[in-house]
Amino acid sequence: MHTSSNIVLMSLILLITLAFKQDVPPQLQLFLLIGQSNMAGRGVPEAEDQQTNPHIWMLTKELSWVPARDPMHFDKPAVIGVGPGFSFAKRLAETYPEMNIGLIPCAVGGSGIDVWKPGAYYEPTQSHPYDDALRRAKKALENGQLAGFIWHQGESDSEPEKAIVYEEKLAELVQRFRKDLNAPHVPFVVGTLGDFVVNRDPEAKIVNEALQQATKHIPNSYCVVSEGLTDKGDSTHFDTHSARILGQRYADVFIHKKLITSKP
């Protein structure tokens, strides 16, 4: 009797699981989310950040596809929250309702640009930011094609000796990612640091200038400004509302510049 009951229960669980299982679309437009904590997200999640969209997917830490929601990063589990990635995808989905979007979260809080190179190890998260991003991107490419790089980083480089060489290092990073992923023409969009970071660290202004200048020289690269956005009270991280707006600004670059060239 117990055996029969167990079989019935297991069958019921299987049916329920299959009923809720969603198949990953075969062709995703993939976006690599890279940088430090303001890309990973530190905003407090709200109900709307948990609402999924059948056209928006994210690659988990375990390299499986699930419907996207915030928080989606996993760099520092105790503090992860809302970043610009999900709102970026939502804006694209509104404009291209038939497109299936795959987000590849790879940002690492606190990481300076120097650890975004082959073999570099970042002790605070015990990770290799660049190598891990490449590994995750290559896995994601099994389900689609790379449509864009989204970079938000620079707070950790807002020191005199680091800020003055940031533009050169950013250009090297863009070239390296494109070469290693065989994506020479894929758009690379960066974002400036928040006004609150500049007010706290004057050298951050040099980083912002480098971000804007670099995109004038790097082919098919663009810069989103974070002017007017606010922090969560720590003079470092965007609050939830501002993180969403930042994501929308990233998306608007792809929309207005017509960077989405592939058909859904």
The answer to whether the CB of 208 falls within 8 A of the CB of 197 is no
The architecture in CATH of the region 24-256 reads 3-Layer(aba) Sandwich (3.40)
Task: Place 25 in a pLDDT band, splitting at 50, 70 and 90.
Answer: confident
Give residue-wise pLDDT tens across range 177-227.
999 999 999 999 999 999 999 999 999 999 999 999 999 999 999 999 999
Whole-angstrom distance, CA of residue 207 vs CA of residue 154: 6
Q: What is the pLDDT of residues 50-100, one digit of tens each?
A: 999 999 999 999 999 999 999 999 999 999 999 999 999 999 999 999 999
Given a contact cutoff of 8 angstroms between Cβ atoms, the answer to whether 48 and 70 are in contact is no
